[in-house]
Structure 1
Amino acid sequence: MIRHRHIDLICGGAILLALVLTGLLCFGEALGLRPASAAPGYASRLFDDGRVHTVDLRVEDWAAFLENAPAEEYIPCTAVIDGEEFYQVGLRAKGNNSLRLTEEYGLSRYSLKLEFDHYVDGGNYHGLDKFSLDASFQDNSYLKTYLVYDMMDYMEVPAPLCSYAWVTVNGQPWGLFLAIEEPEEAFARRNFGPDHGQLYKPDYRSLRAENADVALRYINDDPASYPNLFDNAKFDVDEADQARLIEALRVLSTGENLETAVNVDQVLRYFTVQVFVMNWDSYLGHTGHNYFLYEEDGILSILPWDYNLAFGTYALGMTNPVRDPDVLINWPVNTPARGEVMLERPLYHNLMKNRDYFARYHAYFGQLLSEYFESGRYEAVIRQAQVMIVPYVEVDPTAFCSYEDHLLAVDTLLEVCRLRSESIRGQLEGNYPITLAQQESNPGAGVDASHVDLRALGDFDDLEAAKERQNEAAAIAGVE
């Protein structure tokens, strides 16, 4: 038996403390406390974007890996991240058109994917299950994806964490890559908590197909009609998950009561950034892909992904790609796609038919312009990153461009952002065309961007010039 003259006070205090701790656990988020899932260990390690990290890939036969890279099959490797070793990590090449063109041009700098739980159950990097190493394909600035994710984050759109990494292979220099948090379990927990919803990466099997499900169009109530959604789910999907998503698409198709099926505010913020950066390798382009779809309790959100072809540099698969900088940089924000595409993109089109949502969309543009661009934040983000990465770009053995081309690309990106901001401000104030119809009726109206060469941001000519140096680096890295 415990005897103490203050035993009643001690017991009462212990009970009170337990109640307080229970309350914090249950209601901490409502009180403004960040849950543990919101700040996982990997966020302050690999994704500390204030420095360039190191990733050494120890691979038994690098030459064989490169030869088989287009198959996107995993091999085991040891990944040494900032000096910390992780064994039996799954490694494969990744990409779509970038992977195909890297192979076609005889190049070897593929974007890569590292999966910690591919061979080892529960394997992780301080809570992270998977991340990618983006090769900056057709991005001579090395900054397009980095900048867009910062813009998305600023506009409170859940975006992957990212940071720069100097990658070596078997100790030999391979190049400067952008490490990106892959949207899977760790990403979902960080952004939406442990009881998160479902996450999908819709993608087409063939561009020649209709791909209505990738466009988020309601087809019918049969889950089999949505293979490009459900076959690309990041987590196990049951019948209830399928039913909720299909019902959300049905409501979206009606254009009515959209807030019962769509996280309207988040989607509007996403499209504000998406339209600013002129990214047509996306939901608003003819491919309709390169986004993540999040569903929770029957509510849909769209999340950002893949921006190496943003800022008007996308031309793949287009019969007559637009190259005129005056047209691209003045691209109207009210009709960011041509009519035949717009009508097939209900997540944008049906929201914009609502006057209140349309006004809010314009208001978010006003916020993005005044707070991010006109304030000079974008220039600070670009210049700070450039100062950090430029020593690595200068000696990058597999770079897609020369060092001088990189410097030109950074200056070009800054000018594109400045002019795009000026154009959109003029559109919102009624000084420049804000629809494609107005633009066609008033050719030449808008900011003068004729001095800008968008090819400086990355073009096909760079791929041919990069072949010799990439092959040389591959030969060196293949020798342990």
Structure 2
Amino acid sequence: MIRHRYINFICAAVALLALALTGLLCFGEALGLPAASSAPGYAYRLFDNGRVHTVDLRVEDWGQFVAEAPAEAYVPCTAVIDGEEFYQVGLRAKGNNSLRLTEEYGLSRYSLKLEFDHYVDGGNYYGLDKFSLDASFQDNSYLKTYLVYDMMAFMEVPAPLCSYTWVTVNGQPWGLFLAIEEPEEAFARRNFGPDHGQLYKPDYRSLRAENADVALRYIGDDPGSYPNLFDNAKFDVDGADQARLIEALRVLSTGENLETAVNVDQVLRYFTVQVFVMNWDSYLGHTGHNYFLYEEDGMLSILPWDYNLAFGTYALGMTDPIRDPNVLLNWPVNTPARGEVMLERPLYHNLMKNDDYFARYHAYFRQLLSEYFQSGRYEAVIRQTQAMIAPYVEADPTAFCSYEDHLLAVDTLLEVCRLRWESIRGQLEGRYPITLSQQAEHPGAGVDASHLDLRALGDFDDLEAAKGRQDRAMAIANTRRRRLILSAAR
């Protein structure tokens, strides 16, 4: 038996401390303490977006890696993140048209993907399994993706964390990239908790195919009819998972009782931002891809991805892309794509046939316009971020544009946002056409954007000019490697 003159006092104090700790665990969020699932360690390290981070990629043969990058094969590397080393990290190039065109133009600045558990089971960066390094392909502002994710987060749409990163290769400067949290296990835990649902990245195999599953159309009850969904699942999928998703698509196809199968508010907020930024390399475009689909308990949500071609700059694969800024910046919010596309996009079209949802969609636009744009938040985000990254853009050895072109792109992006905001406000107030049919009846109505050249945000001509810069950077990186080999041999 324990004997101590203060034993009763000690036991009482321990009991009180245990009660206090229990209270913190149970009610910590109410007291202002973040939940562990919503505040993983990586969020406050690499994704502290108040500064530019550093990533050094130590790769045995960088020249060979770049030459073989289009195959998207992984190679092992050591990633030194803000001075901290992580070994045996899987590294590969990433992208679709951007990857193809980087190769086609003979360039070497690929977007990259780092996977911590590719070679090492359980490998992670403070809880993060994977992130990408976005090369700002056809984005001379370096800001399009960053700004859209900020808009999505502002509208309470689950969006990847991101931050700017100065990338070096074996110690040699390679350029300014945007680090982006990849939507996989860590992302799902952070946004939806440890008991999260299923996550998919629907994508087409061929543009010439019908790709009805990518468009989220109901094709029947056979899971084999949805290869572009189930083959692109981020987690293991069983028969029950397939059945829930297919049933949700069936309900969606009917246009009735949609709140039993769709997270309506979240989807409406997503489309509000998506339509504002005129991104047609997306679910609302010809391809119908570049989004993540989240399903939990039979409820569907759509999540944002890939915005380097937003703000009216999508022209890939188009024989006659729209270039007129007056057309683009006045694009009507009630018909964000032509009828033949909209009819094949039930997640937008069937929701908008419901009067209540349609009214909520307009209400979310009013919120975005007043609280994000009229308040000046968009300008503060653009200007403050540009000031932070400016020295790095100016020193970027593999940049797709000159520093002067970058400054022009930032000014252009500011003006695009201002005019788009004014146009949509006029549409909601009834002063400007809000549908394509109204535009046909009133040609020329809307804001005057004729002074803008959207090619300043990033265009194919920039790819031609970038080759010399990137060749020089590659030569320096290869020279550095040869010196290291010679030094090791001595």
Q: TM-score range by the shorter chain?
A: over 0.9
Cα distance in 2 for residues equivalent to 1:113 and 1:249: 31
After TM superposition, give the deviation of residue 384 of structure 1 in Å. Answer: 0.3
Cα distance in 1 for residues equivalent to 2:333 and 2:199: 28
* 1:229-240 paired onto structure 2 within 5 Å: 229-240=229-240
Q: Report the counterpart of residue 153 of structure 1 in structure 2.
A: 153
- Relative distance call for 1:177 and 1:357 in structure 2 (3 A) is same
Q: 1:100-156 deviations in whole A, cap 9, x for unaligned?
A: 000000000000000011001111111111100000000000000000000001001
- Relative distance call for 1:129 and 1:326 in structure 2 (3 A) is same
Q: Report the counterpart of residue 383 of structure 1 in structure 2.
A: 383
Cα distance in 2 for residues equivalent to 1:255 and 1:13: 60
Q: Report the counterpart of residue 55 of structure 2 in structure 1.
A: 55
Q: Report the counterpart of residue 195 of structure 1 in structure 2.
A: 195
Q: 1:255-312 deviations in whole A, cap 9, x for unaligned?
A: 1111111111111000000000000000000100000011111111110000000000
Are 2:216 and 1:216 aligned? Answer: yes
After TM superposition, give the deviation of residue 34 of structure 1 in Å. Answer: 2.8
Question: For residue 62 of structure 1, what is the amino acid of its counterpart?
Answer: W
CA RMSD of aligned residues (A): 1.5
Q: Report the counterpart of residue 469 of structure 2 in structure 1.
A: 469
Cα distance in 2 for residues equivalent to 1:31 and 1:393: 41
SS in structure 2 at match of 1:275: helix
Are 2:319 and 1:316 aligned? Answer: no
Q: Report the counterpart of residue 294 of structure 1 in structure 2.
A: 294
- Relative distance call for 1:13 and 1:262 in structure 2 (3 A) is farther
- Relative distance call for 1:364 and 1:16 in structure 2 (3 A) is same
After TM superposition, give the deviation of residue 32 of structure 1 in Å. Answer: 6.7
Q: Report the counterpart of residue 85 of structure 2 in structure 1.
A: 85
Q: Report the counterpart of residue 101 of structure 1 in structure 2.
A: 101
Cα distance in 1 for residues equivalent to 2:22 and 2:75: 45
Cα distance in 1 for residues equivalent to 2:251 and 2:30: 30
After TM superposition, give the deviation of residue 18 of structure 1 in Å. Answer: 4.6
Cα distance in 2 for residues equivalent to 1:229 and 1:24: 41
* 1:50-449 paired onto structure 2 within 5 Å: 50-449=50-449
SS in structure 2 at match of 1:292: strand
SS in structure 1 at match of 2:369: helix
Question: For residue 374 of structure 1, what is the amino acid of its counterpart?
Answer: Q
- Relative distance call for 1:12 and 1:238 in structure 2 (3 A) is farther
Cα distance in 2 for residues equivalent to 1:392 and 1:372: 27
TM-score of the two chains, using structure 2 as the length reference = 0.95
After TM superposition, give the deviation of residue 319 of structure 1 in Å. Answer: 3.0
Q: Report the counterpart of residue 40 of structure 2 in structure 1.
A: 40
Question: For residue 274 of structure 1, what is the amino acid of its counterpart?
Answer: Q
Cα distance in 2 for residues equivalent to 1:281 and 1:7: 70
Question: For residue 415 of structure 1, what is the amino acid of its counterpart?
Answer: E
Of 27-36 and 238-247, the range deviating more from structure 2:
27-36
SS in structure 1 at match of 2:68: helix
Q: 1:408-427 deviations in whole A, cap 9, x for unaligned?
A: 00000000000000000000
Cα distance in 2 for residues equivalent to 1:323 and 1:404: 22
Q: Report the counterpart of residue 486 of structure 2 in structure 1.
A: none
- Relative distance call for 1:19 and 1:238 in structure 2 (3 A) is farther
Question: For residue 234 of structure 2, what is the amino acid of its counterpart?
Answer: K
Question: For residue 358 of structure 2, what is the amino acid of its counterpart?
Answer: F
Of 235-244 and 415-424, the range deviating more from structure 2:
235-244
Question: For residue 394 of structure 2, what is the amino acid of its counterpart?
Answer: E
Cα distance in 1 for residues equivalent to 2:353 and 2:9: 64
Q: Report the counterpart of residue 455 of structure 1 in structure 2.
A: 455
After TM superposition, give the deviation of residue 19 of structure 1 in Å. Answer: 5.8
Cα distance in 1 for residues equivalent to 2:343 and 2:30: 40
After TM superposition, give the deviation of residue 471 of structure 1 in Å. Answer: 1.0
- Relative distance call for 1:387 and 1:30 in structure 2 (3 A) is closer
- Relative distance call for 1:271 and 1:104 in structure 2 (3 A) is same
Q: 1:204-228 deviations in whole A, cap 9, x for unaligned?
A: 0000001111111111111111111
Cα distance in 1 for residues equivalent to 2:260 and 2:292: 20
After TM superposition, give the deviation of residue 441 of structure 1 in Å. Answer: 1.2
Gaps of 5+ in 2: 482-490
After TM superposition, give the deviation of residue 468 of structure 1 in Å. Answer: 1.0
Cα distance in 2 for residues equivalent to 1:397 and 1:13: 62
Q: 1:380-421 deviations in whole A, cap 9, x for unaligned?
A: 000001101111111111000111110100000000000000
SS in structure 2 at match of 1:294: strand
Cα distance in 2 for residues equivalent to 1:4 and 1:429: 79
Of 21-30 and 384-393, the range deviating more from structure 2:
21-30
SS in structure 2 at match of 1:262: coil
After TM superposition, give the deviation of residue 320 of structure 1 in Å. Answer: 2.0
Cα distance in 1 for residues equivalent to 2:198 and 2:311: 30
After TM superposition, give the deviation of residue 349 of structure 1 in Å. Answer: 0.6
Cα distance in 2 for residues equivalent to 1:307 and 1:177: 14
Q: 1:76-97 deviations in whole A, cap 9, x for unaligned?
A: 0011111111111100000000
- Relative distance call for 1:24 and 1:242 in structure 2 (3 A) is farther
Cα distance in 1 for residues equivalent to 2:300 and 2:23: 30
Cα distance in 2 for residues equivalent to 1:14 and 1:192: 35
Q: Report the counterpart of residue 488 of structure 2 in structure 1.
A: none
SS in structure 2 at match of 1:88: strand
SS in structure 2 at match of 1:469: helix
SS in structure 2 at match of 1:472: helix
Question: For residue 227 of structure 1, what is the amino acid of its counterpart?
Answer: P
After TM superposition, give the deviation of residue 475 of structure 1 in Å. Answer: 1.5
Identical columns (%): 89
SS in structure 2 at match of 1:250: helix
Cα distance in 2 for residues equivalent to 1:249 and 1:14: 54
Q: 1:176-198 deviations in whole A, cap 9, x for unaligned?
A: 00000001111111111111111
After TM superposition, give the deviation of residue 2 of structure 1 in Å. Answer: 2.9
Question: For residue 76 of structure 1, what is the amino acid of its counterpart?
Answer: P
Gaps of 5+ in 1: none
After TM superposition, give the deviation of residue 316 of structure 1 in Å. Answer: 1.1
Cα distance in 2 for residues equivalent to 1:415 and 1:86: 42
Question: For residue 106 of structure 1, what is the amino acid of its counterpart?
Answer: G
SS in structure 2 at match of 1:414: helix
Cα distance in 2 for residues equivalent to 1:472 and 1:182: 30
